[in-house]
Amino acid sequence: MTRHCRLVSAKDLDYGDPMGLKNLRDAIAVYLGTTRGVRCSAEQIMIVSGSQQALDICSRVLLEPGSRVWMEEPGYRFARNLLVLNGCVIVPVPVDHEGLNVAAGVRLDGKARAALVTPSHQYPLGVTMSASRRMQLLDWAERSQSWILEDDYDSDYRYESMPISSLQGLDRNSRVVYIGTFSKVVFPSLRLGYIVIPEDLVERFQACRVAMDIGPTTFTQAVMGDFIREGHFSRHIRRMRSLYNERRKALVESLGDEIPGLEITGTQAGMHLCTIREGIQDREIADRAAHANLWLVPLSPSYAGKAVRQGFILGFGSTSVEEMPGAVRKLRAALRDVKRRIL
């Protein structure tokens, strides 16, 4: 950042390309092709301020008020809120251990206009979509001429196997729009994400972007482009994957020691896992835990309909190995406190 501050020119202060700086898009195209199996050129990549803006642009270009959209149930509620804001009708499709249940989606609404999925590490349950489900989803999209919005928000962090190839890389009919972000792997306030757009839709996406905000800010793009190209980003990912793996193990071990019988999902990847516990009110427990400086994300608000399961989405990225047992003991105390009051 200091280097780019010193080298800034008058041209750098003008409006940039609505698609984003070419050097950053080049770097992202190479990185995605190498690590995620995404098939694209830099010309298909649009730089955005994060996955929320990416989804907003997608919904404006591909959908219209009244469009019915499959969403994972449970799913990412901020994405759900954005689609509703744009007039879409949400079709909650259940998620099981193989990811989105495509057959259930077809039964609920086989003619839906789009499906929003997180196949590499489903939010919030953390499951990975199986190969057979991926092919079923792609087949459905081609048959119904629907769109798949693939949100690949934290796939760089996989601990027990190599990263899973993207859904976009399997798509032979240009039905998948791929969304990625640097918020998880660098830091959220960077506000940098990207969309990989099917070639025949690039002009429509660009026209929408110009109408919305002309284009993205250029300074952080230039910095991020150099950060990737000079190898710093790959080193950062390797270092943080090792660190988060240690914290993940510490959390899983502490949960096993302190709260036996707790169902845990999504431990293979990402920066969060999900714990499920029957017979609790997760929102109430989260409120009480906050008084002990323990911040829990309840699972139940992730459901568009009635919450089928109660539990917590536990992020481990910012809690050290040494702090983990104490944090889990606070969770155990909150669970016991609520249980005593119920009895």
- What pLDDT band is residue 343 in, cutting at 50, 70 and 90? very low
**Among 116, 113, 111, residue whose Cα is nearest residue 93:** 116
Cis before 124 (ω within 30) = yes
Q: At what angle are helices 282-290 and 324-342 packed, to 10 degrees?
A: 120
In the prediction, which pLDDT does 282 show?
Answer: 92
Q: Yes or no: say if 75 and 274 are a contact pair by the CB < 8 Å rule.
A: no
Task: State the Cα torsion 321-325-330-332 to the nearest 10°.
Answer: 130
Query: What confidence tens digit (pLDDT) does each residue in 26-55 have?
Result: 999 999 999 999 999 999 999 999 999 999
Task: Output the pLDDT for position 338.
Answer: 65
Q: Where are the alpha helices (DSSP H) in the chain?
A: 2-7, 22-35, 51-62, 77-85, 102-109, 131-144, 202-213, 219-229, 232-258, 282-290, 324-342
Of residues 155 and 232, the one with the higher pLDDT is 232
Q: What is the pLDDT of residues 174-184, one digit of tens each?
A: 999 999 999 98
Ordered by start, the domain boundaries in the chain are 2-230, 235-342
**Helix (H, G, I), strand (E, B), or coil: what is residue 163?**
coil
The whole-number average pLDDT for the span 206-233 is 95
Contacts 24+ apart (CB under 8 A), 241-247: 241/156, 241/157, 241/158, 241/159, 244/157, 244/159, 244/271, 244/316, 244/317, 245/159, 246/321, 247/316, 247/317, 247/319, 247/320, 247/321, 247/324
- Residue carrying the six token digits 């990989």: 196
Average pLDDT over residues 99-122: 97
User: To the nearest whole percent, how much of the chain has pLDDT over 70?
Assistant: 98
Which pLDDT score is estimated for 341?
A: 55
Find tokens 């976009």 and name the residue. Answer: 168
Single pTM value for the model: 0.94
pLDDT-based confidence at residue 339 (cuts at 50, 70, 90):
low
The class level of CATH for 2-230 reads: alpha beta
* Burial tier of 107 (Cβ tally within 10 Å: 0-12, 13-18, 19+): exposed
Same fold: 2-230 with 235-342? no
For tokens 């920066």, what's the residue?
271
| Mean pLDDT estimate for the chain | 93
Using alpha carbons, list the distances in angstroms from residue 287 to 102, 157, 283, 293, 320. 35, 30, 6, 10, 23
pLDDT band at 81 (very low <50, low <70, confident <90, very high): very high
Provide the 10 A C-beta neighbour count for residue 278: 9
Per-residue pLDDT reduced to its tens digit, 271-325: 999 999 888 899 989 988 888 888 899 999 999 988 889 999 999 999 999 999 9
Residue with the larger pLDDT of the pair 117 and 292: 117
pLDDT in tens, 156-207: 898 987 777 899 999 999 999 999 999 989 999 999 999 999 999 999 999 9
Taking the C-alpha atoms of residue 311 and residue 13, their distance in angstroms, rounded to an integer, is 48
CATH 3.40.50.280 fits 235-342, yes or no: no
How many Å apart are CA 117 and CA 66, to the nearest integer? 19
